[in-house]
A and B are shown apart, each in its own frame.
Chain A
Amino acid sequence: MKPTALVLFAYGANRDNDIAAALELAGAAPGIVPLNHLRTQKRRFSDYQMLVLPGGFSYADALGAGRLHAIDLTSYFLDEITAFVETGKPVIGVCNGFQALVASGILPGNSRWGRQQVDAALTFNSEGHFECRWSYLRPVSRNCIWTRGLEELVYCPVAHGEGNFQVRSSGLLDELVERDQVALTYVHADGSPSRGRYPANPNGSVMDIAGVTNPQGNVLGMMPHPENHIYPYQHPLRTRGVVSGSGLPLFVNGVAYAQQL
């Protein structure tokens, strides 16, 4: 049986089809579920083995990217999502999904999360504007079920204006490193650290952080879009004979994990 994946379709989501394609290719059975169908209980979180928050512009980024979607998560679905996260099911939020996970306090999730305890932010890019470019990512965390075992760099596009990861305190930063919660970092093409240098680090994120996981390692949030590099024709260097850096293995990891739960 293919693991079922709930692709939560908020008002303004737009990379739902993209990530559903990646999940399907990775062996899952994704279902794109409008938020209203969850509210009216036409669909239930408990029917699914994976939870996916896709990219987009929920509520047009009004009042800050992901903020209003985060209020959806915490005001409508607090119990369901708590159960999902705490039972260790795989959860992934990409771009706007990551922003919502951070704005709701689910990530990095080191304190008991909830909207009263937000420890991190995805704020405006240091360049001051939206930017779309392909980035090299190093999968770092061995604790995160999505990135563990990935050796190759992931090459995929970023497309955001508010992806600059910052934390409330340097203590939290240390904790993220200690607990192996830094899931992915922005690096140069040769794999060397970007050390905050634009454009390898496209948004100014602290410690080049492109993605973080919760202490349990089942929830991954990341700004770049691995779902937009799952076919060879998408590779910008395809006509130069380059094929590496697919985003697909990351999804395969998550699906395989859901499979054995």
Chain B
Amino acid sequence: MSIYRFVTHFQEQNDPRSGALLQDAHALGFTDLTRIECQDLYFIEGQLNNDQLQQLALELLCDPVTQEISWDEFPAPVLQPEPGVVMVEVALRHGVTDPVADEIVRAARQLGISGVRSASTGRRYLIDTDEETGQTLATRLLANMVVHRWAVGEVEPSFPVMAEASEQTETIKIRGLGDQELLEVSKERRAALDLREMQAIQHYCDREARDLTDVEFEAIAQTWSEHCVHKTFKGRITFEDGRVVDSIYQTYIRAVTEKIEAPWVLSAFVDNAGIIDLDGENEVSFKVETHNHPSAIEPFGGANTGVGGVIRDVLGVSHKPVANTDVLCFGLQETRLSDLPSGVLHPRLVMSGVVAGVQDYGNKIGIPTVNGAILFDPGYAANPLVFCGTVGISPIGLHQRTPKKGDRVIVLGGGTGRDGLRGATFSSMTMDAQTGEVSGSSVQIGNPIVEKGLVDVIIPARDQGLYTAITDCGAGGLSSAVGEMASGIGADVDLTDVRLKYPGLAPWEIWLSEAQERMVLAVPRQDLPKLQELCDTYGVHLTDIGAFTGSGRLVVRCGEKVVLDLANEFLHEGIPQRELKAAEVKVRHDEAGNLSTKYRGTASEAAGFLLKLLAHPNIASKERVIRMYDHEVQGGTAVKPLTGAENDGPSDAAVIHPLGARGRAGVAIAAGINPEYGKLDAYRMALSVVDEAVRNAVAVGADPERIAILDNFCWGDPLRPEILGSVVEAARGCHDAALMFGTPLISGKDSFNNEYLGVDGLRHAIPPTLLISSIGILDDVDKSVTMDLKEAGNPLYLVGEFQPVFGGAHFNRISDWQVNEPAPSLAASTPYLYRSLHQAIKKGLVRSCHDLSEGGLAVAAAEICIAGRLGLDIDMNTDDPLRWLFGETNGCLLVEVDKARLAAFEALFSGLSIERIAIVTEAPELKVSLGTGYVFNLPVDQLLRVWKTPLQP
């Protein structure tokens, strides 16, 4: 068996990847660098003659018009780069998914070349620099130790290792252990179980009069992980003063949905995704997940599989995915390498990796990415947040939820490998400098095309009624998926039937593997042939690993040997409720009457503040990122993420008309997030972000009485009382605001332990971050509204109770004024205003509509000018101009009204707060005046340039 190496490079121009690498290198401080040339390496193991080598090279491994290729056979003389050039080669570590390698083997056979046994891939970089810099670049930019191997010079090729099959199980001694020993067992196996949980396991062992196998212990640790059972949200929380919150989930989250009792909510919190009625015939689902920990250590793979995972959640309610969302929080892009905690990737690489990961999965699987946000804060440097959402559609009532006795346990999709072991428990821990290395196997790399195959098979299988239950293999792998499905009935499966990527996996590894792109279905035996036929058509693997039994026990075998045998009742109900302590959180602002302080400044200062705000990365255009996502595939996108005369204005929300929806029915998809408010007051942050998510959806035309919301809580370690106190406040705010708007919560997810224990011994926790995502119904997408100014002469109204404050305002981040005020509150009239606004939109009175958010009224005004390439003449009615321009408020929007229909518009708002503040002008200038002595005038061109610059590469 020989090993061949092929090297492909571009003929004239450099590989386009080189430019992006060079930019990243410059941003990391390697400003002198002028060249990083990128070449592709393909290693092939097999027996090939010269003709076959040439055929492989020219027909498969290079594009003959733009590229050149060379090849040699190992051992080959070591290549010496020219003087002044350092060669770095990077290849994947063992066990990391390499879809290209698999395709090479397949396609070679298709070309009639049967001598190819296996393949692997890599990259070669030629850098004009010295060896030391080359090494630094390799570790900081070109390779990620979690998934890559690298070398200065040539990297050794490696191929999948053929190890012996393993049926070994270990016995974990539990009985007779003392408290300390129990905790050590938990720690040793990275199980993240506390003493009471370990004691519960011990009692079970005593009852069953035996210890546990490693498969059983790992399965319990996974089933009882924070990630899977949300023990913090379900825990009993005691405050210092004795006040008790018995389950955040029951008290605030689920409670609000039950109080609202909306008839159009078809499923809340019980399925993998929340479901609402779309048009009487179809239903839509929405789920938002986080993938923070994996994205911190391997940004591309983490974000990639975050998208893949949430898509499977929607497949898990038998819906066809029709739209994706992504909200991303990163550290400051200009962070100096020396300021980063050790073991932490630079925020710029985290961002480029995460964006590439989202792009790769969403674009390839063919789901439009239509809404999102990107935020920057130093607090996210070590713990980026990656929120991935998916919306799905199905005819009402096709989803099946109950496996029957005798149904087969069927796994569809990818093979099982060592990827992502203990991901569920890993995400439930605080990370430290070693996490990246130790948890290397917690990272998964996705394969969107395999998941596309799942969509292609599952939707027709649903229509033909071929399964009685379905769920996705996510965190916890088969253990979680089969365990949950069998929780009411029991199952008996054999691990030797699981299709493996490579042999040598221990039974617990097979059971817990978080290998991607797998779904588990309960299939009646007589329907299996039809499902098999669908799978054959779309090239999807189907494996039958056992049966649902009706025994009430979960039994897992490895051939003859039983490796797991647990009572469902214990596994799913046996976890003791967590007892947690919370501290009352002091709201961090000075209540004493400074809201009446006036902030006048000069007009030119005001203009300067506006330009600085527009250039703040949180407010600046995200066009460069948005355009990397396909937002048009499936043809349903009616309000696009970028809108206006030149398609570059920032939409408040997306509107899609999914294929299959009746008439012109559609959904608006939006989000609200504001960690700045969270730093001051978690309760008001929650009020604000619920309002923002609703407001954004209403702004594009969603019916405010048919909006549902989703919560995603991202906080630090909930065992710290002050952290938990802040979570409780946010949950209470979420409840109060949702009740006020009548917007039921239909799905949610919490991610704790977003903390990093640096080598300095200090904890780095993220700012309290609550993401509220919203999904609202429109009867007619043709009536949807965009945010760009439309026509000179139209009046502009400020709609809503305008109560601008500087607490948490972005003004404080760009000025030296540092005004100490509370975060904005939420006026009780807001829901009524939104209903009136919706009536105005339905009657066609509204030409454009944009909400006030970060940066306040002035930023919103600048954005609508930019988007419409028109001007505004604003007349401020205030004696407190800076507050009026840059203070932040909830519940407000700027609404351009058809000049011929003012009376009809105003009539809809009787008794509510609206004010005409400006007129749209043909001259592209934003003119703001307060009498004649206080005037500034900024050309839209300048606004545009300032706003677009920061996120350009």
Contact = CB atoms under 8 A, between A and B. Distances in A.
A75 interface: yes
Contacts of B19: 128
A141 to B, nearest CB: 22
Contact of A239 (B17, B449, B539, B785): B785
28 contacts: A11-B538, A11-B539, A12-B452, A14-B633, A15-B366, A15-B634, A34-B537, A36-B537, A56-B366, A57-B449, A60-B103, A61-B364, A63-B103, A67-B63, A71-B60, A118-B63, A118-B65, A121-B63, A121-B65, A128-B16, A128-B17, A130-B359, A132-B629, A239-B643, A239-B786, A239-B788, A240-B788, A240-B790
Interface residues of B, number: 60
A17 interface: yes
Interface string A8-39: 00011011011001000000000000101100
B645 A240 contact: yes
User: Interface residues of A: mostly helix, strand, loop or mixed?
Assistant: mixed
A78 to B, nearest CB: 13
Interface string A57-70: 10111111001100
Contacts of A131: 627-628
Given A62-B99, A129-B20, A133-B647, A230 B364 contact: no
Given A127-B16, A159-B630, A238-B638, 14 more contacts: A11-B453, A11-B539, A60-B447, A63-B100, A63-B103, A68-B103, A121-B66, A123-B66, A128-B19, A129-B20, A130-B363, A166-B66, A228-B635, A233-B664
Contacts of A115: 59
B65 A62 contact: no
Interface string B53-83: 0000001110111100000000000000000
Contacts of A34: 537-538
Contact of A60 (B359, B449, B536, B637): B449
A120 interface: yes
A115 B447 CA distance: 27
Given A11-B539, A120-B65, A131-B627, A236 B99 contact: no
A157 B63 CA distance: 26
Given A133-B647, A233-B782, A37 B448 contact: no
B640 A236 contact: yes
B449 A12 contact: yes
B59 A132 contact: no
B433 interface: no
Given A233-B638, A239-B784, A132 B103 contact: no
A125 interface: yes
B562 interface: no
A63 B65 contact: no
Contacts of A125: 16
A39 B204 CA distance: 56
Contacts of A239: 643, 784-786, 788, 790, 847-848
Interface in A107-158: 115, 118-121, 123-134, 157
A208 interface: no
Interface in B801-840: none
B702 interface: no
A233 B365 contact: no
Contacts of B17: 124, 128
B632 interface: yes
A125 B627 CA distance: 13
B628 A129 contact: yes
Contact of A168 (B65, B99, B453, B627): B65
Contacts of A119: 65
Interface string B401-415: 000000000000000
A68 B109 CA distance: 12
A227 B659 CA distance: 14
Contacts of A228: 632-633, 635
User: 7 smallest A-B Cβ distances: which pairs?
Assistant: A14-B366, A121-B65, A128-B16, A124-B16, A62-B103, A57-B364, A159-B630
A237 B60 CA distance: 42
Nearest to B356: A129
Interface in A209-261: 225, 227-228, 230-234, 236-240
Contacts of B63: 64, 67, 103, 118, 121, 123
Given A57-B449, A63-B60, A132 B627 contact: yes
Contacts of A75: 110-111
B616 interface: no
Interface residues of A, number: 60
Contact of B634 (A18, A59, A62, A121): A18
A85 interface: no
Contacts of A59: 103, 449
A132 B784 contact: no
Interface of A: 11-12, 14-15, 17-18, 21, 34, 36-37, 55-57, 59-64, 67-68, 71-72, 75, 103, 115, 118-121, 123-134, 157, 159, 166-168, 225, 227-228, 230-234, 236-240
B244 interface: no
A236 to B, nearest CB: 5
Given A57-B449, A71-B110, A234-B635, A128 B20 contact: yes
Contacts of B786: 239
In this complex, the member of B64, B628, B659, B848 whose beta carbon has the largest number of chain A beta carbons within 10 angstroms is B64
Contacts of A231: 635
A14 B634 CA distance: 8
Nearest to B58: A116
A134 B647 contact: yes
Contacts of B627: 131-133
Nearest to B355: A129
B59 A230 contact: no
Contacts of A240: 645, 788, 790
B65 A167 contact: yes
Nearest to B629: A132
A125 to B, nearest CB: 7
A67 B63 CA distance: 8
Nearest to A126: B16
B433 to A, nearest CB: 32
B632 A132 contact: yes
Contact of A71 (B59, B64, B633, B785): B59
A7 to B, nearest CB: 14
Contacts of B657: 233
A78 B539 CA distance: 22
Contacts of B60: 63, 67, 71
B610 interface: no
A18 B103 contact: no
Interface in B617-639: 627-635, 637-638
Contacts of A234: 632, 635, 637-638
Interface string B428-458: 0000000000000000000111001100000
A232 B784 CA distance: 13
B662 to A, nearest CB: 15
Nearest to B60: A63
Nearest to A68: B107
Nearest to A168: B65
Nearest to B534: A34
B781 A233 contact: yes
B714 interface: no
Contacts of B659: 17, 21
In this complex, the member of B452, B633, B659, B664 whose beta carbon has the largest number of chain A beta carbons within 10 angstroms is B633
B104 interface: yes
A238 B657 CA distance: 15
A241 B831 CA distance: 30
A11 to B, nearest CB: 5
Nearest to A70: B59
A230 B790 contact: no
Contacts of A130: 359, 363, 628, 630
A59 B60 CA distance: 13
A55 B632 CA distance: 12
B405 to A, nearest CB: 34
Nearest to A117: B64
Nearest to A239: B786
